[in-house]
Amino acid sequence: MTPLSPATVAWYRARGERWLREHAAVTWERPSRGLHVFGLGVAVRIAGPRGEGFAAARNAVTDLLQRLDVASTAVRPLIFAGASFDPGAPHRDPLWDVFGGWQVLLPAITIIREGDRWSGIACAGDFPLPQEAPASPAGEADRETLAGAIAEAVREIRAGRYEKVVLAGSRSAPLGGVTPADVLARLAAAFPTCCVFSFRAGGSTWLGASPEPLAGVSAGRVELVSLAGSRRRGASPDLDRQLELDLLGSPKERWEHRLVVEAILREAGELVSGLHVPPEPSVMKLANIQHLYTPITGRLAPGAGLLDLVERLHPTPAVGGWPRPAALDAIRRLEGMDRGWYAGPIGWVDPAGDGEFVVGLRTALLSSGAARLYAGAGIVDDSTPHAELDEIESKLDALRGVIAR
């Protein structure tokens, strides 16, 4: 692998970000931080079957890192990985077959923009032509069916079977000529504080604007986040503030948020030292929703790495529930759909061990002229189907607005 010359980087820069998004096999953008990564072509793509998950992807990344010769390169290559939410899920939507249970991708060329600074690195590889994606099958759960699943989950929680479960729904929306590059540009503009990502397989593109980091590592420093508990945004500053105060004062939302914090501390405790947790959550405000937010920091323990953290933490109670085994069982029984990579881990790692993974939220799967949108809500003992369905629809509306604009 070889760093790209300034002239070559300038050639790609002149193509523009829309061109880079259009031709990329994978993208990773943090607009508020000035970070934009475009992975073009494929040097290495490794995929696993639907019955495997992130544990298998972790092994593939580890093996690939050991085989890379990066000693002489100033620009480090980034290895991207994504995985399904639950490899043991009973439902199988053919739309997800091209992604499999997990994939690891090393781009042939990676272009990185950090503020005004552009750089790039090349690996041996090719630039395959896009393939046709399978037609999107029917099978969305309607509002009434999802309401019934939520009501049943509340009954099971009150019976003591588990404490929380996250149930999700999906909706289809026509693209009407809108391309993945268009959607990515709109997501970056609408949600600059989120991680805007895309991952292409065959003729399908999985993309989103995730507000929820799963784990990040930079020079041994670990960043984790609890993001659970939500309210919609208000139509006026006064109403928005009222909703914020209601969120901060809600025992239900505070309990749900604390459950995620405690799970992160329990799961990460053996891998991270010097964990620091603020005593109270703050509020993260996005374009259409606001969440209770607690950042958690520390240092990697000797022998631990980013991939260890991701494997240990996924799925957090924020996207699965608690206790984890009982919540996953409830999702498999009640949700009635194939989540695929929705709410699964997606991110990158470099040979130094630095990297970032997020939870695949606020997402859509684009193929064959249509988008399949996904969103969920956390169900606890005092949840009501009406309120939780409204939360799911609010999250879906954010994506609908971007696609249909």
Q: Catalytic residue positions?
A: 164, 212
Long-range contacts of 149-153 (CB under 8 A, 24+ apart): 149/334, 149/335, 149/336, 150/377, 150/379, 150/383, 150/385, 150/388, 150/389, 151/385, 152/334, 153/330, 153/334, 153/379, 153/383
Can you read off the two tokens belonging to residue 191? 């949600």
Find out whether 156 and 330 touch, Cβ atoms under 8 Å. yes
Contact 31, 287 (CB under 8 A): no
CA atoms 54, 168, 215, 106: torsion sign: positive
Residue-wise burial string across 146-184, b where 16 or more C-beta atoms lie within 10 A, e elsewhere: bbebbbbbbebbeeeebbbbbbbbbbebebeebebbbbb
